[in-house]
Amino acid sequence: MKKIIYILLSIFLLFSCDNLQTVIEVDLPEHEPKLVVNSINQVGQKWKAYVSVSQAPLSNSDFVFLTDATVLIMDGDNVVDTLKYIESEFCYKSDVIVQQGADFQIRVSHPMYETVSAGLYSFDRIKIKSVDDIQSASNGYGNLRFSFDDPAQTDNFYMISIDYYSKSSDGESYSLYIESDDPSIVEGYYADSKLLFDDKLFNGSTKEFNLLIDEYFSQSEDSIFLNLWSVDYAFYQYQSSLIIQSYSGDNPIFSAEPVNVYNSFLDENGLINGYGIFAVSDLDSVMIQFE
């Protein structure tokens, strides 16, 4: 008798669990495609931009790069250069080199979509002040100390990476894993072996960092470079929001709070007329040795 009761109870629970499913119907507004422009530039290199079109939230289609857009670098109402599409790189490139302090804008137009434009934020180019030799630590890690002078007049944003070049890699560079317990870094963001942070905790002072790096390289054959990137406000906001969003998981509705990635392409009223980023960074690199 007890066996029959257990069987009936199991069947009841099985069908009950099936009935616990809830179907949520989401009434999404009709998607209006807009231009997507990703233009992250570096001082000393040519202006570039990747141009595509936004897709509906539930779309499974691949992004397609537009090859027939008009991409202009502007100085006020004057055209500085018209970028040309480079098929092998899927992007538009300029013949003009990015200069420090350039106060330019980007304007992208296409016959099928609304024209988008954005300007740059000014930032200071900061150089590495001092760097010590790498000191070997335990468990395959090394310690690296370096410093730089942070200006007091403005808010500044930075990114750190460490690369090594192997003689056997035909000039290819590889990034090393780095970490730090410095409060400034803890308040920053980690992504792809890069540390992104601002100067809130050391504004206007000489800042010294102590980094722990993965010694995944040959001390006798590889060249090691410390990279300090000075980045503008748009670069920092875009990259930090992108990193936070990547941590939200595949289902941000239930696993984490959704994050809006920073967008450079807003109109005068703060409304979205396109998507993407227009930013500039500058790089100071120092080759480092072993103790």
Q: For the chain, list residues with pLDDT below 70.
A: 1-29, 57-59, 137-138, 167-171, 186-187, 191-192, 215-221, 246-258, 289-291
Give pLDDT, residue 194.
Answer: 87
Domain boundaries, the chain: 35-120, 128-233+283-288
Please tell me the distance from the alpha carbon of residue 247 to that of residue 261, in angstroms, as a whole number.
12
Architecture of domain 128-233+283-288: Sandwich (2.60)
Residue 3, classed as helix, strand or coil, is helix
Architecture of domain 35-120: Sandwich (2.60)
Torsion of CA 41, 279, 87, 62, to 10 degrees: 140
Alpha helices, DSSP H only, in the chain? 2-18, 183-186, 233-246, 252-255
Please tell me the distance from the alpha carbon of residue 196 to that of residue 239, in angstroms, as a whole number.
8
Give pLDDT, residue 223.
Answer: 80
pTM over 0.95: no
Give pLDDT, residue 177.
Answer: 84
Please determine whether the domains at 35-120 and 128-233+283-288 fall in the same fold group of CATH.
yes
* Mode of pairing for the β-strands spanning 275-288 and 35-42: parallel
Give pLDDT, residue 176.
Answer: 82
